[in-house]
Amino acid sequence: MPRPNLKRRLSLARLRGSKGLGQIFTPTRQAAKMTLVKGLALKPKSRLTIIMGDRNKKFGVELKKEATRMGASVDLIIAENGGKNWAQVKSFLTDSIRKTDALIYGLDSGFIVNDRLGIDLRSAGEAPMKEAREAYKRRKDDVAVLTIGGIGSKFVRRLARHDFAKARRLISKIYSKVNGAKKITITSPSGTNLVVEMGNHKWIKGDGIIRKKSASRNIPFGEVFATPASVNGKLVIDISMNPDYFPEQAKRKIFGIKINSINPVFLKKTPVSVEIREGKVVPGSIECKNPEIKKELEKHLFSESKSPNVNNLVGEIGIGANPDIRAPVGEFIFDEKIIGTIHVAFGQGFSASGGNWQSSVHIDSLVSKPTIHVDGKMIMGNGKFARGIIS
């Protein structure tokens, strides 16, 4: 009889702990344990709130079971597609956020999350969750927030075999190269040619570790990102864009799809080009062979009345750094972590990095095969990290 894989047995034994010997760790339970221990650093007697969409329902139930085993007090609610129980969700969150220590949400892509708890079910025509958002703002210095990608069983299988340590080593190496840099240049075969000035703005390690209660992180993690002081040049988006800002009717017309997601490879045939000057997208500079994409992007960057004059700001420059994510899956919380890519977001920046403005949008875009120079030294060439950064 062949001997079981020793490395896997030891890994599972560490997760089970001395009290858990003999218990069966399914991929779902293993992923839940890793999320709570390695991501959220959940402690016994903590109060945890979980809100999940339909696709992550089973994982939400497993998270609750595992957190309860760890000694936490847990509230869980499932936000049903179509807004069937939206009034209940609003009431639940408004009440729970007043007393919780941590929040995990893994909503389906039909739910748009702004300002963390400003949740707007656009497909059902709901107004933003004002009550929950205001309750959160009163407690924001005491609540840790963990966002989980919403692609159901695919997410669970990926997370169960995710190498947290390997990804965090790579993130730390990239951070050591960019932290404190003043000038970064980014080019790509598709035509991107950007000069990024950092000034006193700070880079952030997206390594999934919540170091203080007020932090907000993503699972899966795997990026180093910042709000730049200024950006100049040309950006050519040739992989994908965040689908949240394309209304359902427009997405059907543009992409020929019915689900609330954008095909992650659609921009390979119709890339989007924009000119950026002094950190802002230049009006009239957006180019795309697909007129519907151009129209929707121009509307959000220049015609949004909720936050005029800031939606076209470059709010984020990020470097994808997750070795386990190598191709788009159609969920942007995954896709922006693809190793060897960069992503640029328009609109809301990060106050911890220097983005001290309020925008109603955060429109992510993804670029393939970048070459990156940091203060004149190359750290990535054509989508491959330089020697010494990745082994």
Tell me the per-residue pLDDT of 138-152, one tens digit each, with 9 for 90 and over. Answer: 655 567 777 776 555
Rounded Cα gap, residues 229 and 202, in angstroms:
10
Selection from 113, 108, 109, 68 nearest residue 93 by Cα: 113
Q: pTM for the complete prediction?
A: 0.78
List, by residue range, all CATH 3.40.1830 domains of the chain: 6-156
pLDDT at 284 (0 to 100): 95
Q: Binning pLDDT at 50, 70 and 90, where does residue 83 land?
A: low
Residue whose token pair is 């070795």 = 323
- The angle formed by the CA atoms of residues 346, 350 and 356, to the nearest 5 degrees, is 95
Q: Is the dihedral of CA 300, 305, 310, 315 positive or negative?
A: negative
Rounded Cα gap, residues 342 and 228, in angstroms:
14
Write phi, then psi, for 268 (nearest 5 degrees): -65, -35
Residue whose token pair is 């159901």 = 152
Write phi, then psi, for 319 (nearest 5 degrees): -115, 120
Q: Binning pLDDT at 50, 70 and 90, where does residue 378 land?
A: very high
pLDDT at 328 (0 to 100): 78
Selection from 370, 307, 364 nearest residue 341 by Cα: 370
Residue 27 has pLDDT above 90, yes or no: no
Say what percent of the chain tops pLDDT 70. 70
The two tokens of residue 10 are 């030891």
Rounded Cα gap, residues 323 and 267, in angstroms:
23
Selection from 385, 326, 324 nearest residue 31 by Cα: 324
Rounded Cα gap, residues 252 and 244, in angstroms:
13
Query: What is the mean pLDDT of the segment spanning 38-66?
Result: 87
How distant, in Å, are the alpha carbons of 38, 301, 377 from that of 109?
25, 21, 39
Q: Is 351 helix (H, G, I), strand (E, B) or coil?
A: coil
What architecture is domain 6-156?
3-Layer(aba) Sandwich (3.40)
Rounded Cα gap, residues 209 and 215, in angstroms:
9
Selection from 55, 61, 53, 50 nearest residue 26 by Cα: 61
Residue 370 has pLDDT above 80, yes or no: yes
b (16+ CB within 10 A) / e for 248-270: eeebeebbebeebbbbbebbeeb
Contact assessment for residue 75 and residue 91, using Cβ atoms and an 8 Å cutoff: no
H-only helix segments in the chain: 6-16, 27-34, 57-69, 86-96, 130-139, 152-160, 164-178, 248-255, 291-302, 332-335
Residue 75 has pLDDT above 70, yes or no: yes
pLDDT at 194 (0 to 100): 98
pLDDT at 98 (0 to 100): 76
Amino acid at 233: G
User: Which residues, other chains included, contact 238 with Cβ-Cβ below 8 Å and sequence gap of 6+?
Assistant: 188, 190, 267, 268, 271, 367, 368
**pLDDT, averaged across the chain:** 78
Residue 55 has pLDDT above 70, yes or no: yes
Least confident window among 43-52, 87-96, 285-294 = 87-96
pLDDT at 61 (0 to 100): 93
